Chain A
C-alpha cells in the first residue's frame, strides 16, 4: 500500500527530521507509530498523505511515486485515505453531523443515501446527541471523535490517525481502538500515531518507533 525507500526529510535548512526510512505498510495491516514528541510522527503521516514530499528517497502510495503524481489526481488518491489530524480541522460553520458527512458530500453523493450511516457512526463514537452542535461548542474529546468519524465515514483503504485518543479518557480510548480494529477487519490498513503506551499494550500489533530521525519496527 505504502512504500518508503531510503526516505529523508528536512524542513528548509534545518536538520533532517527523518533519516533513511525504509519500510512498507502492507494491505490490511494494523500498526502503531510512536516516539517522543517532536520525533516526526506527524511529518511521517504527512508524507503518507501526500501533503509533503521527501527531500530524498522515494515514497510510493498505492504504487505511485508521490513526487510524480499530477495535481489533478491527488483528490482521487486522497479519497482512498482517511486522515485524523492532530488538530482535528473541523469546519466551524458546519454541525458535527455535517462535518462527518463532508467527505461523502464532496464526492457528490445524495444526502438521503448516507444520512443513516453518518448518524449511526456518530452514535457509535458517542456523539448521538451532539449531531446538531457546532464544533466550537464541542469539548476536545468530542471534537476528536468527530474528526475520527469523518476519517472513517467512507471506509478508506488506509486510515492515518494522529493522536486519535489524546483527548479522551481510557474507557473511550478503548472503545475507539475497537472501532479501528473493526475497520481493520473490514480491510482498511490502519496507522495510529500515539505515545499512549497503555493503548498500545492492549493489543498485539506492529509497532513503528521513531527516535532520532530513525525508525525501528517491532513486528
Chain B
C-alpha cells in the first residue's frame, strides 16, 4: 500500500522542491517493546522446538527397540540323558522353517554355545558334560510374523523339551516403558506449548500497550478498525516470524551440534550405550516439519493476538462515548 517506500519521491517536477523521505510506516519501526517481544518469542520457540525434537527422538528410539527385538525369536531345547539333542534341534529348525513368516533358522552349534558361555564358565568347556540348553535362532519377517501359537503347539507335539521364546514379555515391557516415556514427553511438550502460547499473547499485548495513542489518532482521523489492525498485524507478524525463526534455527543447530559431538565419540562404549538408549541425535523429517509448524504457529498467533488487541482497543475508545467518566 502507500506506506511502502517510494524511491522516486521528491525528485519532483520543481527542482526547488523539498526532498521528502520515503513514507515511514504507520506503525513505528522498532522500539524496545518490539525487541523484547522478539527476544521472548525466540526463547519460547527455541524451547518448544527443543522439546519437540527430544520427544520425536525418544519415540523413534522406542519404535526401533520394538522392531529390533522382535526381529528374532529363539527355540531352546534342554538336553536330557539319552536324548539326541542334535536331531531334536534339526527337527525344531525344520518345523520353524515350515511356517510362513520365518525367513531363516540357524542352530547355534556347540562351539558357538561354548563361546556364548565363556564369560561365565571359562574356556575349554566340554559341552557334552553339561546339560546346557541349545538354541535355534529364527529370524522372522516383521511385517507378517509367523503364527507363534501354532509353532509352539507343533514343537510341543514333536520335539522334546522345546521351549519357544518369542521375547513377548520382554518386548511388551520395553514397549510399555517407551510408551510411558513418549507420553511424558508429549505432556511436557503440551505444557511448553501452552506456556509459549500464553507468553506470546501477553508479550504481544505488552508490546502493543505503548501504541495506544497511535491507534487512537488513526481511529480519529477516520481509519477503519480493520485498516489499523492490519497495519499492526503485519508489523508484529514480522517481529514474531523473525524471533520464532531464530529460536527454531537455534534448536536445530543445538541438535546438529549434539549429533556431531555424539558422532565424534562414536567409538567409545559410553556413546554406544547412549546411542542404544536415546538413538542418534539426528532430527527426522517429522522433527523439521514440527519445528517449522511451531515457528508458523507462533507467528500467526502473534498476528492474531495483535489483531484482536487492536480491535478491542478501538472498541474501548468508542465505548468511552457512553461512559463519560473515562477520559480520551
Quick check: A89 and B321 within 8 Å, CB to CB? no
On chain A, the number of residues with a Cβ less than 8 Å from chain B's Cβ atoms is 47
Known: A50-B321, A53-B322, A105-B2. A78 touches B220 (CB 8 A): yes
With A and B bound together, what is the CA distance between A142 and B64 in angstroms?
75
Quick check: A11 and B9 within 8 Å, CB to CB? no
> Within 8 Å of chain A (Cβ to Cβ): is B219?
yes
* Chain B residues with CB below 8 A from A74, complex form: 318
Quick check: B18 and A75 within 8 Å, CB to CB? no
> Within 8 Å of chain B (Cβ to Cβ): is A168?
no
Closest to B325 in A: A12
Quick check: B221 and A106 within 8 Å, CB to CB? yes
Known: A93-B28, A132-B20. A106 touches B324 (CB 8 A): no
**Secondary structure type dominating chain A contacts:** loop
* Chain A residues with CB below 8 A from B223, complex form: 75, 106
Q: How large is the interface on B (under 10, 10 to 19, 20 to 34, 35 or more residues)?
A: 35 or more
Closest to A67 in B: B322
> Within 8 Å of chain A (Cβ to Cβ): is B301?
no
Q: Mark A87-108, 1 if CB is under 8 A from B, else 0.
A: 0011101110110011101111
Quick check: A115 and B9 within 8 Å, CB to CB? yes
* Chain B residues with CB below 8 A from A154, complex form: 222
Closest to B28 in A: A93
* Chain B residues with CB below 8 A from A131, complex form: 18, 20
Known: A109-B2, A115-B9. A79 touches B21 (CB 8 A): no
With A and B bound together, what is the CA distance between A218 and B9 in angstroms?
49
Instruction: Tell me the smallest distance from the CB of A160 to a CB of chain B, in Å.
Output: 11
* Chain B residues with CB below 8 A from A12, complex form: 324-325
* Chain A residues with CB below 8 A from B29, complex form: 93
> Within 8 Å of chain A (Cβ to Cβ): is B225?
yes
With A and B bound together, what is the CA distance between A78 and B227 in angstroms?
15
**B9, B217, B222, B321 — which one has the most chain A CB atoms within 10 A of its CB?**
B222
With A and B bound together, what is the CA distance between A75 and B218 in angstroms?
10
> Which of the residues A53, A79, A97 comes within 8 Å of B222, measured between beta carbons?
A79
19 contacting pairs across A/B (C-beta < 8 A): A9-B324, A10-B324, A12-B324, A12-B325, A51-B317, A51-B320, A53-B324, A67-B322, A72-B224, A75-B219, A75-B222, A79-B222, A91-B214, A91-B217, A105-B2, A106-B218, A109-B2, A111-B23, A132-B18
> Which positions in B face A, CB cutoff 8 Å?
1-3, 6, 9, 12, 17-21, 23-24, 26, 28-29, 213-214, 216-225, 227-228, 315, 317-318, 320-322, 324-325, 328
Q: A12-B325, A106-B224 are in contact. List 9 more A-B contacts (CB 8 A).
A: A9-B324, A46-B328, A51-B328, A53-B321, A53-B324, A75-B219, A75-B222, A105-B2, A108-B2
